[in-house]
Amino acid sequence: MTSDRETRPDDEPWTIRRLLTWTTDFLTRRGAESPRLDAEVMLAQVLGWERVQLYTHWEDIIGERARGEFRDLVRRRAEGAPVAHLVGRKEFYSLALEVSPAVLIPRPETEFVVVEFLDAVKVIDAPRAVDLGTGSGCVAIACAHQKKTARIEAIDLSPDALAVARRNAEKHGVADRIRFHQGDLLAPVADEPPFDAILSNPPYIPTADIATLEPGVRDHEPRMALDGGPDGLRVVARLIRDAAPLLRPGGHLILEIGTAQEQPVRSLIEAAGAYRLLPTVHDLRNHPRVIHAVRIEET
């Protein structure tokens, strides 16, 4: 889609079908992981439609103005910009969430944190929880949306991230049950009564590995939400230590981890002496993804 001469060798009109086919091929050649999905999401954004509508208007001809907007998005995607940033949203736990370069883009793997929370508190009438490093608010909002009596303290260092999270909470009708705090780790809730659960998708990428990430992550997502220090466990280790006094006996610590971090994180939790470990949760690709531990009674 760089010029009419290059992309229109004949008079065949630019239908939705043809645009998606061309763009999928174009993004495939440039190494996109999900070229067809990327093309559909961007075209639906330009047209103001849901993706499914593309298939019910397969042979509709797209005018030059819309094609120009679409062409710009495709160019930026080919240059490495994440689709979620280009369209300003990402789905998480069936909720459409606003995203921006200020927040980590929600990923399907993080939904396992929500699943573990919901299972852990299903018999608690009004659970109180902390979501540490809330970013877009995806975990806190999904938990509050699913558990209508839950009250959640959502913490982040970034005021820009918290602004996004607040808008997402308002959009999905849970802002009255989530309090947002700017601060370092659990400091903003240190004086609160013990919680039923502390949840986090903390920074866990080793610093040296940041440079090896795919450009859409490395160059467009907040480094603060990615960089876990030399071994990837700088924040995790502090969180394990600081969470214990803020959890009631029987309270839950639920952490997302990197795929190579299962044993190191389990060892840190065992060494803390304050928790009973549950089986590691694996994601859909069978990678270790969530560590779940229960606060034990002090002796």
Please choose, from the candidates 200, 284, 291, 196, the residue with its C-alpha nearest in 3D space to the C-alpha of residue 248: 196
Q: Which residues contact 18 (CB under 8 A, 6 or more apart)?
A: 12
Question: Rg (Cα) of the chain, in Å, rounded?
Answer: 22
Percentages helix, strand, coil for the chain, rounded to the nearest 5?
45, 20, 35
* Closest to 91 measured CA to CA, from 51, 144, 120, 48: 51
* Prediction pTM value: 0.90
**pLDDT value at position 3?**
40
More confident of the two residues 154 and 9: 154
d(CA 154, CA 103): 14
Cβ 138 vs Cβ 110: under 8 Å: yes
> Strands 151-156 and 128-132: what pairing?
parallel
Collapse the DSSP code of 230 into the 3-class scheme (helix H, G, I; strand E, B; otherwise coil) and give the result.
coil
Q: What is the pLDDT of residue 297?
A: 84
Predicted local confidence at residue 10, as pLDDT? 56
181 pairs with which residues across the strands?
Answer: 155
Q: Which domains are delineated in the chain? A: 4-79 (1.10.8), 101-295 (3.40.50.150)
pLDDT in tens, 156-183: 999 999 999 999 999 999 999 999 999 9
Average pLDDT of span 197-210:
96
The pLDDT, as a whole number, for residue 299 is 54
| The predicted structure's pLDDT at residue 33 | 86
| HSE-CB of 59 using CA atoms within 13 angstroms | 1
| CA distance linking residue 7 with residue 25, whole number of Å | 12
Q: How far apart are CA 41 and CA 75, in angstroms?
A: 14
What tokens does 78 get? 């080919």
CA dist 118 and 281 (Å) reads: 14
Give which of 184, 166, 185, 190 is closest to 176, Cα–Cα: 166
Residue 292: phi, psi to the nearest 5? -125, 125
Checking if the pLDDT of 40 tops 80, the result is yes
C-alpha span between 187 and 235 (Å, rounded): 13
